[in-house]
């Protein structure tokens, strides 16, 4: 493999070292921790975090990294992937045994599909006065839930995002737990949610946007009861709810 990086602030090593540590390596596997993607190259692991609008593009041939294609990898067999718009994210290199020490990974709460994510865990984590939406967005409580999915989870669970989390009943916590696994599981299967121009490296868009029940659907009828979906602001984020199904918070 051949590799290059354009912006030094995108990675945690010198650009020459980035090249040197990846050259000749093979991709042995991929993984995910919360919203962080892991690329396993044997004695070095790529820790990649995309923020808004970061993406992977497939290029026709090797191109020197530049302002747009911030990091470029060419695999054996000729596949060239460019990690674009990385000024909003990063591509760090870590030793395999030290990935858990990465500042963002070490603070992550359990993955929704791990055995540690139980209704009991969630009840304890949510036993605070803050809004349930704010807490579900907190990556140290659950790894991997973003704004779109929190709104969909809380709609499925019939809980208003602005509810004080410590007022939730055990039944509501169980409903949030089940909806988190269900909705994230289906979203991953459908390759995520695509708005505007996002495509993955193979030109595919996600398909989960067709399954969204409330997110970006202000003014449309609630698919459960027919009341009008409204947009508000909770935890500093645009928030979509059905006032009839989810109450007023």
Q: How far is the CB of 133 from Zn ion (least distance, A)?
A: 17
Q: Does 93 bind Zn ion (CB under 5 A)?
A: no
Q: CA-CA distance, 161 to 103, in Å (whole number)?
A: 28
Rounded Cα distance between 21 and 37, Å, is 18
Site string (202-241) toward Zn ion, x via CB under 5 A: --------------------x-xx-x--------------
Closer residue to Zn ion in complex, CB, 82/242: 242
Is 242 one of the binding residues for Zn ion (CB under 5 A)?
yes
Closest to 131 measured CA to CA, from 14, 20, 239, 21: 239
**H runs (alpha helix) in the chain:** 15-22, 103-106, 119-125, 132-137, 147-156, 170-189, 243-246
Q: How far is the CB of 156 from Zn ion (least distance, A)?
A: 11
Judged by beta carbon, residue 188 or residue 227, the one nearer Zn ion is 227
Secondary structure of residue 56 in the 3-state scheme: strand
Q: What is the smallest separation between the CB atom of 224 and Zn ion, expressed in angstroms?
A: 4
Pairing type for strands 55-59 and 230-234 reads unpaired
- C-beta of 224 vs 237, nearer to Zn ion: 224
145 in contact with Zn ion (CB under 5 A)? no
Q: Is 35 in the site for Zn ion (CB under 5 A)?
A: no
Q: Which is nearer to Zn ion, 93 or 242 (CB)?
A: 242
244 in contact with Zn ion (CB under 5 A): yes
- Decide whether 69 or 246 has the Cβ nearer to Zn ion: 246
Q: Binding residues for Zn ion, how many (CB under 5 A)?
A: 7
Task: Identify how many contiguous H helices and E strands the chain contains and give both numbers.
Answer: 7, 10
How many whole angstroms separate alpha carbon 115 and alpha carbon 117? Answer: 5
Give which of 85, 56, 80, 72 is closest to 18, Cα–Cα: 72
Name the minimum Å distance from CB 175 to Zn ion: 15
Shortest distance, CB of residue 214 to Zn ion, whole angstroms? 9
Is position 10 an interface residue for Zn ion (rule: CB under 5 A)? no
**Beta strand segments in the chain, E:** 2-5, 29-33, 36-40, 45-49, 55-59, 69-74, 80-84, 90-94, 230-234, 237-241
Of 225, 249, 35, 53, the residue nearest 151 (C-alpha) = 249
Measured from the CB atom, the residue of 142 and 222 that comes closer to Zn ion is 222
Nearer to Zn ion, 155 or 208 (CB): 155
Residues at the contact surface with Zn ion, assessed by CB under 5 A? 222, 224-225, 227, 242, 244-245
């Amino acid at each position: 493999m051949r590799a290059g990086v354009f912006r030094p602030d995108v990675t945690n090593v010198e650009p020459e070292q980035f090249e040197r540590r990846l050259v000749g390596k093979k991709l042995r596997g991929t993984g995910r921790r919360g919203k962080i993607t892991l690329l396993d190259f044997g004695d070095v692991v790529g820790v990649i975090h995309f923020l808004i609008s970061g993406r992977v593009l497939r290029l026709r041939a090797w191109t020197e990294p530049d302002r747009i294609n911030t990091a470029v990898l060419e695999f054996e067999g000729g596949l060239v992937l460019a990690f674009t718009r990385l000024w909003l994210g990063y591509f760090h290199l870590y030793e395999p045994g030290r990935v858990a020490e990465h500042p963002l990974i070490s603070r992550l709460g359990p993955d929704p599909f791990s055995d540690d994510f139980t209704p009991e865990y969630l009840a304890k984590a949510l036993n605070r006065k803050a809004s349930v939406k704010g807490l579900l967005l907190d990556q140290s409580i659950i790894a991997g839930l973003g704004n779109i999915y929190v709104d969909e989870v809380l709609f499925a669970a019939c809980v208003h995002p602005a509810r004080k989390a410590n007022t939730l009943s055990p039944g509501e916590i169980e409903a949030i737990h089940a909806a988190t696994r269900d909705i994230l599981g289906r979203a991953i299967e459908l390759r995520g949610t695509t708005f505007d121009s996002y495509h993955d490296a193979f030109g595919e868009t996600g398909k989960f946007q067709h399954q969204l029940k409330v997110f970006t659907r202000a003014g449309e009828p609630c698919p459960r009861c027919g009341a009008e979906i409204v947009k508000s602001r909770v935890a500093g984020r645009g928030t979509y709810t059905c006032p009839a199904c989810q109450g007023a918070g």
